[in-house]
Structure 1
């Protein structure tokens, strides 16, 4: 049994969850600043109160980007990722934003289709050399 709460995870949980799926993170202070600046967040907890999943929205009210959608491997394939996305996408739709996007690896993009996310006509580009530790 899992519960979800509408807030971003604590910095320690954020780093641990990202590491559980092989994603690096910057230092805890930088993570804390980023989490504080989130427009919206969802954290999922197991019965013991341990964070096992998360997702958040960053943006300015006109544009939102859904990021850090993670469920630790031991809790995957139980509908938890869908619950997190239900909350994130519901919040995003209610926000009135003109544009909501997310980035996903090609092998998991079909998962996001049930919330209306489709391959866009534009490319997701990164500033070269500016992706340190994330």
Structure 2
């Protein structure tokens, strides 16, 4: 692991986005922005999974520091008749960034949506996961 002992504590934030193809078959089943399958509510379960993933990132990725997370927000929305978008926003006050935590949260939320909906269709595709914003630390990034 990189030694961050000499760094200053700063407010840090990262936002990652996952775009996922669900297809019309699955999207058409949503009612009031949620789909309840035999496994339970899809988006609510995926949000919880994303938050848990953020908290466990250092256990999953070998060189990540364990962090005291100040806040996590996972938001999932239908963006058209076949796609959803998952945003994972993570904040801390610390000596290292939270990019990996945000990316992990978005990925695990997307995988959870897949798991919750695979009995309906296995044509789903996690199309893209990317860091869209990072603030604090040495450099800021805004990828929209």
Q: Same fold (TM over 0.5)?
A: no
TM-score, normalisation: structure 2: 0.31
Q: Which protein shows a greater Rg?
A: 2
Higher share in helix: 1
Higher share in strand: 2
